[in-house]
Amino acid sequence: MRKYIAAALAVILFFLTYMPYQDIAHAASGYGWGFKKNDEHEIPDVGKYKQILEEHGAYYADHSGEKVVYLTFDNGYEGGYTDDVLDVLKKHDVPAAFFLTGHYVRSEPDLVNRMADEGHIIGNHSYHHPDFTIVTKDTMQEELETLEEAVAEVSDQEDIKYVRPPKGMFSEKTLDWANELGYIHIFWSSAFVDWETQQGWEHAYENIMDNIHPGAIILLHTVSSDNAKALDKMIEEMKNQGYQFRSLDHLVMKNKLPEPIYGY
């Protein structure tokens, strides 16, 4: 027993000695994004996070009451389905935002270029996908700027203004840092575990449609074959229900200006 206690103390001492104090503080104060789903097709309850995000100009949904939705995708690696997703978006003339990592940009330059060329927003998901709440400000800045440079090398999109934090981890400090660097945090109000075992397109379709609501920011992963197969039907049904698909620029612009600019 004494050996186990000694080993545990040694590990604690190591982290206290070699982990910067500010990183320890971040680890203790970081939040993992999440929300309480409901069956009423309303914006989910995010508790105290709502005020935190509002104070830092971040978004997880559109609270205007408009029957609009925003499609967003996280791309860490390619599973062979992104072309199919882009084909469906093009078919329905639906805008989307793709939050990319460095690995994705370096390994799939043609897909990145296609995203930008077809008018979709490319967002920053960091270069190496670290937890921002346990790194320094300089490291976070390097992660974001390196990703932005990589995207500019393979596409015409040279400026990235939206960031989605890796693993959904954030804090007041990381939100501040992103703002100082000119980034706007984009979270989500609709998502499900779509990157693991695939269970058929109906599973993806039902998970999204059961939780759709006016102003939803939907998070999907393009590594999911279920998502790729269900997307066409999702879009058609949402349109049948009166939903309109908008870009994140539409959401941000109408919140920053007293009158809407049409076309976004």
| Contact (CB, 8 A) for 53 and 43 | no
Residue 256 neighbours by CB under 8 Å, 6+ apart: none
Choosing from 62, 74, 131, 232, the catalytic residue is 74
| Contact (CB, 8 A) for 120 and 73 | no
Cα 2 to Cα 118: distance, rounded to the nearest angstrom: 63
Cα 157 to Cα 55: distance, rounded to the nearest angstrom: 28
Q: Is 129 a catalytic residue?
A: no
Q: Answer positive or negative: Cα dihedral of 105, 109, 111, 112.
A: positive
Name residue, tokens 């076309």: 263
Cα 104 to Cα 100: distance, rounded to the nearest angstrom: 6
- Short-list 227, 225, 260, CA closest to 244: 260
Choosing from 26, 221, 226, 232, the catalytic residue is 221
Q: Is 84 a catalytic residue?
A: no
Cα 44 to Cα 64: distance, rounded to the nearest angstrom: 14
∠ CA 146-178-157, rounded to 5°: 45
Could you give the residue numbers annotated as active site?
A: 74, 221
